Structure 1
Amino acid sequence: MGIQSCVKILNEWDIVAARQLGRNVAKELGFGTVDQARITTAISELARNIYLYAGQGQICIEKIYEGSKAGLKVIAVDSGPGISDIRQVMEDGYSTSGGLGAGLPGVKRLMDQFDIISSLEKGTDIRAVKWLR
């Protein structure tokens, strides 16, 4: 288990803080600027979802290692209303906020691994990993 750094998401400024944390950890791990941008975009999307739909939650960034591989794991957790239909929110172009709908499918495309667990009235737990190439 790597060391986690977390940012509580309570307002829009926290989204910026979570992005900054992700960028810093990505830089430390040696990710190039393109992957840093992918990671910060994914974090932005996840943090914005927490802010918009759950009201509060947290984004944790963790350095992970598997054999000789290094990566960055983003964990987005909230205790909001949960997602009733994960398949639906994972469809491209689906948006409840009237946003661009890059949403969760966008996060999945930006990252190498993506897992989502959501329970109605209990919240959502999303984990996404980007491996260093």
Structure 2
Amino acid sequence: MVAIRTTDDVVRARQLVRTFAQQCKLSLVDQTKLVTAASELARNTLVYGGGGSMRVQRVQLLARAGVSAVFEDSGPGIPDVDLAFTDGWTSGGGLGLGLSGTRRLVDEFELDTMVGRGTTITIVKWAR
């Protein structure tokens, strides 16, 4: 688990995800997609969630290997999930991907949020 409390932690989270992606033999393109998504979500955890954590692990489904990353915070939560998934909408100055763009970069994307409780986002990228 990586605590996400500073911008240096965002960098560490990104590096750890890249290491797992390489170990799972994701293609260079898929590594880049996963690392980009993880970077955006780690930054969101810090900026909008007030800090939190990321857990990353190798996952296996039959003969398929992949990488799962879970981002958790105890921040304010996302008040309007539909708006948050609107293409082009951003609440700040991130990479400009937004949640919709981040979701398109990975194979699986799960969002659990509640106002006043925080947000948990799980992403998975499978090796081809």
Q: Same fold (TM over 0.5)?
A: yes
The letter for the 1-side match of 2:26 is F
Per the TM alignment, residue 107 of structure 1 is displaced from its structure 2 partner at its CA by 1.1
Per the TM alignment, residue 35 of structure 1 is displaced from its structure 2 partner at its CA by 1.0
CA shift digits 1:93-114 (9 cap, x unpaired): 1111144531211110100011
Aligned equivalent of 2:26, options 26, 31, 34: 31
**Aligned 8 A contact 2:40 2:95 in 1:** no
Q: Could you tell me how far apart the structure 1 residues matched to 2:93 and 2:3 are?
A: 25
The letter for the 2-side match of 1:10 is R
Question: Does residue 89 of structure 1 match 2:112?
Answer: no
Give the unaligned 5+ runs of structure 1: 1-5
The letter for the 1-side match of 2:118 is G
Q: Could you tell me how far apart the structure 2 residues matched to 1:62 and 1:99 are?
A: 25
Percent identity over the alignment is 41
Give the unaligned 5+ runs of structure 2: none
Aligned equivalent of 2:38, options 40, 43, 46: 43
CA shift digits 1:63-115 (9 cap, x unpaired): 11111111111111101000011111011111111445312111101000111
Q: Which TM-score applies when normalising by structure 1?
A: 0.92
Number of equivalences: 128
In the other structure, the counterpart of 2:6 is 11
